[in-house]
Amino acid sequence: MLFLWLFLLSLIIWRLHVSYSHFSKVPYGIPWSPRGRFTPYLVTQIAGIWNIPSVMEKAYQDYGKKGSICVIALPFSRPEVLLPQSLIRWMTTQNDKILSPIPVQHEVVGAEYAFLNSAIRKDFAVYDILRVQLNRHLPRLIPRIAEELASSIDGTFGMDTEWNEVCVYALVRKVIARITVWLVLGGILSTDNELAENLSNFSSSVIPSAIALSLFPRFLQPVTSRLTSVFNHIYMNRALKILGPHIEKRIIAIENGLLEDLPQDDVLTWHIHEALRKKERRFEMADVVACRVFATVFAALESTTLTMTYALFNVCASHPSTQVWQALEEEALSFFPTNVDQTSLNDLNIADSVIKETLRLNTAIKALSVEVMQEDGLTIEDRMIHLPQGARMSVSGWGIHHDEDMYPNAYDFHPFRFVPLHKDEGIQDAQSLATPSENYIPFGIGKHSCPGRQFAAVVAKVFLAYLSVNYDMEEVHKKPCFMSLGHLPVPPSSEISEMPFASSSFILHHTWTVAHHTVQVHLCFLSRLPNMTSLSLADLVSRQLDQNPSKPTVIGIYGLPASGKSFILEALRKELGETEFTFFEGSEVISSLVPGGLDSFQKLQLTEKAKWRVKAINHLRDEVATSGRIAIVTGHLMFWSEVNDAPYAVYTLEDLKTFTHIIYLAPNEKTIASHIESDKKKKYRSYMADLTAKDWNYWQRDEFWTLRDLCRQHKILFISVNQPSLENVLPLVKHFKQLAPAGANLALVKKRLDEIVAMHDTKKLQTFLVFDGDRTLTAEDGGRLLVDEIDENGTGPCDSALRDLYSGPMGYSDEAFHQATLILEEECPDDMFEDRCDTVSAFIPLYTEFLTLLRRITQQKHIGAVVVTCGVGRLWTKILKHHGLSDKVKVIGGGRLSDGYYVTPGVKAAIVSHLRDVHDLYVLAFGDSPLDIPMLCEADKAFVVVGDEESRSSTMDAALSMAIQDGHLRARQILLPSKSSPRLDKDRLPVISLGDKKLVKSITERRKDLPPLKSFDATNKSAAKVLMSPMRDAAVSGPALREAHANVGRYLAIEYVSKIIGLEEYTIPHVQGHKTIGHRLRNEAKTSIVAQMRDGEPMAFGISDVFPQAMFIHASGAEDLEMHHVQGQSNVILVDSVVNSGKSVIEFIKRAARLEPNIDITVVAGVVQSEAVAKGHLFEKVMRRHDAGLIALRLSGNRFTGTKTTDTGNRLFNTTHLA
């Protein structure tokens, strides 16, 4: 009984509370839905907790659809005045100071208590940033969004080989969470799984805590919120442990103008800039920005996750006759092989319709609500109804979206419902699903529409497209239902998916169990998209500098029929002649081989045609290989099928093995139609006159992207020409010819390097500094900024093309760097390129430390400097010019055909070697990324520039560690800015500063002249004559010859090695019983004898007999000499039987010096070619550079090099019969 009285008392108190706070805001005389005042209001609120759609539906049918106004009671909220659809435009065009949705939205999420800073409830920054900054940058971010989504989907859905149980909603949420965190916080923090998990958990706790809070009277909420929001605050505090210091660090960096060290394309950075611009209070700025970040994550994550889950459920439940998944797949296949951008997103009409229908059927916004903000209230003019400040009005989105008069069969899912809009009305809006109207308001409408709807549209469409491309789905007829708790949809959390992997694909077998319904879905992963390739140090170090010289150069001229291929071929023939080139019409080659010619070929079955095409391309390839000329061949990738009314492929695998370059002619459809009309003689083109412009566009686009991807996979250089003419094609052919011979690219680079060196006083020149450009001399990535500038000015998806290039099959191969030049040439004409370089270069500052150093060395005649970049050379020339350095510091870099060459990691290394070995200069190299490691390995001194942790190369640590561990690299690191965290550890990579005067002095000081070569030989000595006789005797081989070599080793060790290295005294027992002084090699126990296998082994054993304490090492190549062989050693003796050019010995010298810089090196050989030790020879230079000593039994002027039966190794080990 006491409990009953307490309940009645509570009910009275509640009635008085809501009567004052809620009913006072509702004008008298407006009818309620349902009718009544007290009990119906309470009953409706309770009913709305479990089924708010029915409340909205009834109010809409009884009043809104009839043009009337009513009052509705919503759960966990105050009453709202429901307006008819005719007043939507009036309501949504009011100024935010009159009507605003933000107070309603903040109440729904409990903003006053959901966040750590209550000021967020009055804050409009989140909406402003999304509306202005996000929508401004979104088109440029689309390729990166697609890449992140693809990576996240692959990683989340997994590739397990066994069946696994998975929760579909959880998988979708994980993917959306990752892309949301990536957008809001940037790339670095998005990989922090702990942070992402806490942000996701916070987001999911917001609405439940707000609902719990609304159960209490407002005057109790400051107290009760501590209980209801406890999980919000737990997850926020956990996230802030990671996020807080990062935000403060970024604020400080922006305050100090260190913009180059920060990512610029994330919501966090935009919020900080805005807060500083508005001069918000500094002491609480980090906390406020953090709250805005949390709010943004919540806004983006929850609605997008629900939308995608609903969409997958709806597609699964569609009737098989709709074939919606197949339709999505077919559409998406023409999307993902392309550059994913705003334009290609337009073509996803089916995906657009599926998601738009999902939002209509399962709209998250049941009612579009606003609150009166104006102090004196607002009057609905045509109804003469006045609403006081704080009153709320809304429009029933649910009712409109389920109105049978607007949407027939409104409660059914029709995936193609909105497709006719695209086909019949020609709508080409990139985000049509995000474009609201008075009949479609899932995102709101007008001033009050969702500011992040464009982002949500991009994510949803790309998500669905990627799934349909990579998974096959078995459709079903039933789907699970989402329950709702007030405003909160509760997804079915018990759905289960099992994932097996079979052959080259894995199958996801989903079982969703909700409300006694079981749904089975089969998803099959298909490897249609190329996998990302990683950059390995081994690939970089051993990268070949040129194409396979055995493969003849074959340039393909491709394009649709009537695109001008034959015309271009004949024009090239007349211009270039047939001395160095040979020209083929692909169809004529086939005609010459097939009995009966082309007419007979056209009558064959497709399989027979394919066989003749293979024979034709093989015949062509053999002829070109025999002639040694460059071939230019017209070809077809696809033809149009009159039966299927679609293009089909006709290329063969042999085509892809043959072509080295392809030029694709891509005129517009008007040009093609004109060519067809003027060339009616070709009968096989007759059907083509019936094709529409849409057919031409579809065919050309399909052919272009297919061919481009095939070229990437087979390392064929590819470029398209939109205006086919001799003027545009001829420079490409000449460029390909120039770089066709083996070694041509490197030769051109070296020629440019020699020109740069010649600009100095070579008699005084001693030192050369070689710098990488981007991220080394500056914190900026100039190439990235240039591509962004090109893309923003509408020249095409250049950024996506380059990103796809290096992450695709070409990886970081030489062909990839050459292809990058072709992409820039294709996407940006010369005049525009110069303009963009001017714009970008003006905003790229050099590090102050490097600027000071460069200005200092330009005043020194004995020092030179060059910037070598794998990026855009022209851009770096302009950057240096802006800093007044271009006269003294030159640039080697590609990016345009006019440069004549391209730069690769291998080319960078060759530049350093050329400066060091040919020009005899002391070389210092500076770089920051794995692409620079080959260059750093070749330098006399190497410096790794280490930037801010967020922007620097994420793969450099692993590459550095490998290079150092393998003994290829010994370097020091320069931290810029100085507060940057160092790479690896200070033992492996010591930290230095460019502000260190000793370092600067060591770089800029004049170097001592290299000492003369320390060389000893016994050529004219009697002992040598005796010892060399059995070595030269053809009758001596096997053990006897090995003993002769050992005797030479003993002699040279005693006579000369002891002289070059020196001796040390030690105490020995005398035969007379007392101690006396003996002598042995200086630091004999710290000496390594390296036998260069196999010829050097016998002589090395002889030396070892004389120096028994020395370590003995067998080495077939320089890489066999490892750190533990020389670390801590004082001497290394390199032994070979014969030194001709000294090439192999040079590698051993460099390797030993790199592993142990202070070690003394001595080379011992039986015979050394006199030319090798002549002044200026590379071997002589390397010996002097490393102050190495040379000992030979004799010097020889005879250039004869033994082979087969005369090879020293074969004679030593009796293997002449195997030669």
Under 8 Å between Cβ of 689 and 588: no
- My answer on whether 701 and 774 are in the same domain is no
More confident residue, 1198 or 39: 1198
Task: Locate 321 and state its tokens.
Answer: 């006759």
Instruction: Give the pLDDT confidence of 1169-1180 residue by residue, as tens digits.
Output: 999 999 888 899
Task: Report the C-alpha gap between 221 and 224 in whole angstroms.
Answer: 5
Whether 101 maps to a domain, the answer reads no
Task: Report the C-alpha gap between 928 and 947 in whole angstroms.
Answer: 8
Domain boundary among 966, 981, 1004: 1004
* Total domains in the fold of the chain: 4
- My answer on whether 1034 and 904 are in the same domain is no
More confident residue, 346 or 119: 346
Q: What is the mean pLDDT of residues 585-601?
A: 92
Q: Which CATH number covers residue 400?
A: 1.10.630.10
Residue 850, sorted as left (phi over 0), alpha (psi -120 to 50) or beta, turns out to be alpha
Whether 55 maps to a domain, the answer reads no
- My answer on whether 984 and 1132 are in the same domain is no
Query: What is the share, in percent, of the chain residues with pLDDT greater than 70?
Result: 81
Domain boundary among 738, 754, 788: 738
- Tell me 966's DSSP state: T
pLDDT at 521 > cutoff 50: no
More confident residue, 1083 or 364: 1083
Q: What is the mean pLDDT of residues 963-977?
A: 88
pLDDT on residue 713: 82
Whether 609 maps to a domain, the answer reads yes
User: By C-alpha distance, which of 1115, 1181, 1117 is closest to 1147?
Assistant: 1117
- Tell me 983's DSSP state: S
User: By C-alpha distance, which of 201, 202, 227 is closest to 213?
Assistant: 227
From the CB of residue 988, how many other CB atoms can be counted at a distance below 10 Å?
Answer: 15
pLDDT on residue 431: 37
Task: Report the C-alpha gap between 1152 and 1118 in whole angstroms.
Answer: 8
Q: Which CATH number covers residue 896?
A: 3.40.50.1000
Q: Which CATH number covers residue 1106?
A: 3.40.50.2020
- My answer on whether 359 and 422 are in the same domain is yes
| pTM attached to this predicted model | 0.57
Structural domain for 673, as ranges: 550-738
Task: Report the C-alpha gap between 649 and 639 in whole angstroms.
Answer: 7
Least-confidence region, from 530-544, 718-732, 838-852:
530-544
Q: What is the mean pLDDT of residues 616-622?
A: 94
pLDDT on residue 589: 94
Under 8 Å between Cβ of 1158 and 1116: no
- At 914, which amino acid appears? H
pLDDT on residue 817: 94
Q: Does 450 count as an annotated binding residue?
A: yes
Q: What is the mean pLDDT of residues 934-954?
A: 91
Average model confidence (pLDDT) across the chain: 81
Least-confidence region, from 28-32, 268-272, 462-466, 884-888:
28-32
- My answer on whether 729 and 752 are in the same domain is no
Whether 537 maps to a domain, the answer reads no
Least-confidence region, from 357-361, 458-462, 964-968, 1138-1142:
964-968
- My answer on whether 995 and 1040 are in the same domain is no
Least-confidence region, from 415-429, 1009-1023, 1046-1060, 1084-1098:
415-429
Under 8 Å between Cβ of 781 and 803: no
Q: What is the mean pLDDT of residues 803-829?
A: 86
pLDDT at 1091 > cutoff 90: yes
Whether 464 maps to a domain, the answer reads yes
- My answer on whether 925 and 1034 are in the same domain is no
Whether 65 maps to a domain, the answer reads no
Under 8 Å between Cβ of 873 and 892: yes
Highest mean pLDDT: which range of 684-688, 801-805, 812-816: 812-816
- My answer on whether 183 and 280 are in the same domain is yes
Instruction: Give the pLDDT confidence of 40-63 residue by residue, as tens digits.
Output: 556 666 665 666 787 888 889 989
pLDDT on residue 560: 93
Residue 153: pLDDT band (50, 70, 90) is confident
From the CB of residue 1209, how many other CB atoms can be counted at a distance below 10 Å?
Answer: 17
pLDDT on residue 243: 85
More confident residue, 685 or 290: 290
Instruction: Give the pLDDT confidence of 638-670 residue by residue, as tens digits.
Output: 998 876 677 888 988 899 999 999 999 999 888
Task: Report the C-alpha gap between 912 and 924 in whole angstroms.
Answer: 9
Whether 5 maps to a domain, the answer reads no
pLDDT at 946 > cutoff 90: yes
Element (H, E) at 700: helix 693-713
- Which spans in 256-379 are helix H? 267-277, 285-317, 324-333, 342-346, 349-361
Residue 501: pLDDT band (50, 70, 90) is very low
